[in-house]
Amino acid sequence: MSAGNNGAEKAELHRTIWRIANDLRGSVDGWDFKTYVLGMLFYRFISENLAAYLNESERKAGNPDFDYAALSDEDAEYGRRETVVEKGFYILPSDLFENVRRRARSDENLNETLSRLFADIEGSAVGSDSEDDLKGLFDDLDVNASKLGSTVIKRNEKLVKLLDAIGDLPLGSFADNTIDLFGDAYEYLMQMYASTAGKSGGEYYTPQEVSELLARITVVGKDEVNKVYDPACGSGSLLLKFAKVLGPGKVRQGFFGQEINLTTYNLCRINMFLHDVNYEQFDIAHGDTLVDPHHWDDEPFEAIVSNPPYSINWDGDANPLLINDPRFAPAGVLAPKSKADLAFTMHILSWLAVNGTAAIVEFPGVLYRSGAEQKIRKYLVDNNYVDTVIQLPPDLFFGTTIATCIIVLKKSKADSRILFIDASAKFVRSGNKNRLSDADQQDILDAFTARTDVDHLARLVEHSEIAENGYNIAISSYVKQEDTREVVDITELNEGIVRIVAQGAALRSQIDAIVADLRFDEILVPHGVEWALMGEVGEFFRGRRFTKNDVVPEGIGSIHYGEIYTRYGVSADTALSHIRPELAPSLRFAKTGDLVIAAVGETVEDVCKAVAWLGEDDVAIHDDCFAYRHSLNPKFVSYYFQTGRFHADKAQHVARAKVKRISGVSLAKLPIPVPPMKEQERIVAILDTFDALVTDQVIDLGAEIKARRQQYEHYRDRLLAFDTATT
């Protein structure tokens, strides 16, 4: 297994990329700065790729000590022509990434050096078969742009940092067969920038798991395909998933695509190189696929995948040539000028091989909108081209939260039925987006291949039913979603509400009785109580750090600030985090009766949230907490920490930094009342009873509100359950 498949190595690579991207970006917008990071990553890749290729060739020829990077430029010129034929480009030894990086700090004209060598790399392909594949690849890596710095010196400083950062990435070596890490680095960078760039980034990046699902759908039952195509290929991630799904060399005649955005077109070609796809194996064109397609001589394609831009404008019927275009003419109507979705669909169908499959991510409106789109759907359905329609979950894509769908097209279906799959619930939440897990992908693929009815998931629908439904192919029209509402016994529910109301009334009476019995002239008068500094009646000590990797299902109980915030009132039977027992010698523990205090918080109010630890076993405390070992009643101190007076005192000592915090020294200086122990116990008993009653009251109120909601929904549905009208 190559190192690129090692999860820990990938995680380390991703952390490094995230760090350098944030350290280096500065004034350059993230989505723009990706071109610098990706461009320099590409420069490093092709340098190492070429050097590894030439070193291997020479060593096989009997020169075991050959090192291309150490060769003189003059001697290297002898191999230029042959190498360009094989690799598609040429780089002189002095211009290799490692050599330029080594000289960078002392090169006062670094920007000119990079600009010249980028031009030389592209120029090496002029007049060869690879010219179009190399042309313009470094156009967006503008080393003289003012956004890199206001002066040449500042720009060169940024470029040195960029060279060093890219050079330090743990990408292994070609000799170790770890080149897949370059491709993984590219994919991670694209995902990272798309997720932070909003809509502008989301247009050009399809999440990897969606790309993989599309590729897997189109190759069901096949071990290899002739050619793959994407008419709106973006950065090329959909096309390259075929190499992962089928394996190397299983796309016999290569990868084809077209992209309208110049920057993204360049990124796509870079992506091909970074995934070690030779220039002879890909043909990526720049331009508008709908009005100026570039691959007439290469179609048809056995596998087509695409995530075209949603509902964009196009020429439509404003261009009189398009209605006679062989791609669009069969439907007898063009997609609306403001909604090009089905124009892409018709283009894809036209270029699909008879034995091929196309999987297209679509905006949901194309499934049910009327007018010209309905007529195009009628053409697709009546001619038996629609194989499957899949509803995807919402919030999968960067820049939009809509629930998209997949339309699967075939020209050689075995029957005239259409399979509808509702995969809207097939996702896991990851960060601020939904994601298709491996299991979710497999569930969708299993339903696609089984092609049978499954309650609430999949249904095969006859052509006649779809025609009767006005050629609406929205999944919700054919697959009934599962009713997950709780079945209610209304008689039992009503009786339960009566009991809850009675319990609530009893609790209110008990609370009122406590309040009536409280006579403050018999409790402590503030000026009659001794006060002390907290450090005089106890001592503070801070916990020791432990990480997420130290947390285990069973082990030593531990408290960090999260337990204090989310489980206010931690007790011995509370479910706590546990950490590895072997860490015990390096930890600090709170004992029974100690107060555990949050040393940090998001707000000033959060700092010093505290709980009394009353468990029998000692519990380890994290370094975001203090333990307070004292001579007072622990619950008395805990209740005092909740008072407005204490918050006013400690607020003066809380650091007003981004993360609010307090020190042990400051805590020790805070005043605290010290009544006799018997009075502390009496106050705690009253407050415990009050607190328990209020908690029970809150629970009962919540239960009543839930029951009332169920009661309302039951009677609402019954009152509106009219018989279905007959016509």
Torsion sign (Cα): 49, 54, 55, 57? positive
Q: Domain end: 628, 647, 674, which one? A: 674
Q: Is 428 left (phi over 0), alpha (psi -120 to 50) or beta?
A: beta
Domain assignment present for residue 422? The answer is: no
Band (3; pLDDT cuts 50, 70, 90): very low
Q: Does the structure show a pLDDT above 70 at 574?
A: no
Q: Which residue has the higher pLDDT, 346 or 493?
A: 346
Residue 200: predicted pLDDT? 41
Structure token pair of residue 524: 């402590």
Give the pLDDT band (50/70/90) at residue 701: confident
CATH label of the domain that carries residue 611: 3.90.220.20
Tell me if 494 is assigned to some domain.
Answer: no
Structure tokens at 655: 């650091």
Percent of the chain with pLDDT over 90: 41
pLDDT tops 80 at residue 73: yes
- Rank 129-133, 380-384, 500-504, 721-725 by mean pLDDT and report only the highest: 380-384
Helices (H), 178-234: 180-197, 199-202, 208-218
Q: Of the candidates 46, 42, 26, which has an alpha carbon nearest to the alpha carbon of residue 146?
A: 26
The stretch 596-615 carries a mean pLDDT of 84
Q: Which residue has the higher pLDDT, 197 or 19?
A: 19
Task: Reduce the secondary structure of 513-544 to three states and give it as a string.
Answer: HHHHHCCCCCCCCHHHCCEEEHHHCEEEEECC
β-pairing, 405-410 vs 386-391, is antiparallel
Which among 639, 663, 638, 641 has a CA at the least distance from the CA of 653?
A: 663
Higher pLDDT among residues 146 and 99, named by residue: 99
- Residues in Cβ contact with 40 at an 8 Å cutoff, skipping those fewer than 6 apart: 141, 162, 163, 166
pLDDT band at 726, cuts 50/70/90?
very low
pLDDT average, residue stretch 535-561: 85
* Over residues 414-424, mean pLDDT: 93
Identify the residue with better confidence: 397 or 415. 415
CA separation for the pair 213, 393 (Å, rounded): 13
Banded pLDDT at 571 (limits 50, 70, 90): low
Considering the entire predicted model, what is its pTM?
A: 0.66
Which residues, other chains included, contact 442 with Cβ-Cβ below 8 Å and sequence gap of 6+?
Answer: none
* C-alpha to C-alpha distance for 620 and 587, rounded to whole angstroms: 6
* Cα–Cα distance measured from residue 601 to residue 562, given in angstroms and rounded to the nearest whole number: 10
At residue 517, does pLDDT exceed 50? yes
> What is the domain-level CATH number for residue 133?
1.20.1260.30
Indicate whether 645 pLDDT > 90: no
* Dihedral sign, Cα of residue 106, residue 111, residue 113, residue 114: positive
Spell out a b/e string for 507-534, using b for 16 or more CB atoms within 10 Å of the CB, else e: beeebeeeeeeeeeeeeeeeeeeeeeeb
| 214 within some domain | no
pLDDT-derived band of residue 580, with 50, 70 and 90 as boundaries? Answer: confident
Over residues 27-47, the pLDDT tens digits come to: 555 556 677 888 888 899 899
| Per-residue pLDDT at 243 exceeds 90 | no
- Least trusted range by pLDDT, from 208-217, 235-244, 424-433: 424-433
Cβ pair 16, 9 in contact under 8 A: no
Instruction: Identify whether 170 is preceded by a cis peptide bond (ω within 30 of 0).
Output: no
Domain assignment present for 258? no
Q: Are 316 and 336 in contact (CB under 8 A)?
A: yes
DSSP state of 482: P
Q: Residue 523 pLDDT more than 80?
A: no
pLDDT at 17 over 90: no
- What whole-number distance in Å separates Cα of residue 190 and Cα of residue 265? 14
Q: Which residue has the higher pLDDT, 49 or 177?
A: 49
What would the two tokens of residue 579 be? 């950490």
Tell me the average pLDDT across 411-433. 89
Indicate if the pLDDT at residue 507 is higher than 90: no
Q: Do the domain assignments include residue 695? A: no
Structure confidence at residue 85 (pLDDT)? 92
pLDDT digits (tens, 9 = 90+) for 673-700: 998 898 888 888 888 888 877 777 777 7
Choice among 329-333, 569-573, 646-650 with the minimum mean pLDDT: 569-573
Q: How far apart are CA 35 and CA 117, in angstroms?
A: 17
CA–CA gap between residue 257 and residue 236 (Å, rounded): 8
Mean pLDDT (the chain) is 85
Residue 710: how many other CB atoms lie within 10 Å: 17
The answer to whether residues 3 and 183 touch, using CB atoms and an 8 Å cutoff, is: no
Please, are residues 69 and 98 in contact by the beta-carbon 8 Å criterion?
A: yes
pLDDT value at residue 566: 60
Contact in structure between 627 and 544 (CB atoms under 8 Å): no
Lowest mean pLDDT among 196-210, 251-265, 558-572: 196-210
Per-residue pLDDT of 197-233, as tens digits, reads 544 444 457 888 899 999 999 999 999 999 999 999 9
Residue range(s) defining the domain that contains residue 44 = 1-197
pLDDT over 70 for what percent of the chain?
89
Phi-psi region of 401 (alpha: psi -120 to 50; beta: other; left: phi over 0): alpha
Beta bridge partners of 391: 405, 422
What is the band of 148 on the pLDDT scale with cuts at 50, 70, 90?
Answer: confident
The pLDDT score that the predictor gives to residue 97 is 95
Cα separation, 37 vs 21, whole angstroms:
7
| Cβ-count burial 206-238 (b if 16+ within 10 Å, e if not) | bbbbbbbbbbbbbbeeeeebebbbbbbbbbbbb
User: Rounded to an integer, what distance in angstroms lies between the CA atom of residue 213 and that of residue 695?
Assistant: 49
The owner of tokens 């009643």 is 633
Residues 6+ apart with CB under 8 A from 97: 43, 44, 47, 48, 163, 166, 167
CB 590 within 8 Å of CB 627: yes
Residue 55 has pLDDT above 80, yes or no: yes
Instruction: Indicate the range of 117-131, 497-511, 592-606 predicted with least confidence.
Output: 497-511
The set of residues, in sequence order, having a beta carbon less than 8 Å from that of 496 and lying 6+ positions away, is 707
Nearest alpha carbon to residue 403 among 334, 481, 336, 337: 481
Domain boundary among 129, 164, 197: 197
Q: Which residue has the higher pLDDT, 577 or 75?
A: 75
pLDDT tens digits along 103-143: 999 999 999 999 999 999 999 999 999 999 899 888 888 88
Q: How confident is the model at residue 611 (pLDDT cuts 50, 70, 90)?
A: confident
In a domain, 434, yes or no: no
Indicate the helix (H) or strand (E) that contains 346. Answer: helix 341-350
In this prediction, residue 391 carries a pLDDT of 94
pLDDT value of residue 572? 55
pLDDT tier, 650 (very low <50, low <70, confident <90, very high otherwise) = confident
Q: What is the mean pLDDT of residues 237-243?
A: 90
Indicate the helix (H) or strand (E) that contains 241: helix 237-246
Mean pLDDT of 609-628: 86
Number of domains the chain is built from: 2
Question: Residue 138 domain-assigned?
Answer: yes
Lowest average pLDDT, out of 218-232, 273-287, 462-476, goes to: 273-287
Q: Say if residues 590 and 596 touch (Cβ distance below 8 Å).
A: yes
**Beta strand segments in 119-243, E:** 228-230
Q: At what angle do helices 7-25 and 30-60 cross, to 10 degrees?
A: 130
Q: Are residues 259 and 295 in contact, defined by beta-carbon separation less than 8 angstroms?
A: no
Single residue among 168, 197, 226 that ends a domain in this structure: 197
Q: Strand, helix or coil at 9?
A: helix
Is the pLDDT higher at 700 or at 391?
A: 391
CB burial class (10 A; 0-12, 13-18, 19+) of residue 722?
exposed
H runs (alpha helix) in 124-151: 131-134
Straight-line distance from the first to the last Cα atom of the chain, in angstroms, rounded to the nearest whole number: 67
Question: Which of 179-193, 445-459, 494-508, 636-650 holds the top average pLDDT?
Answer: 445-459
| Stronger pLDDT, 528 or 417, i.e. the higher one | 417
CB atoms within 10 A of CB 554: 8
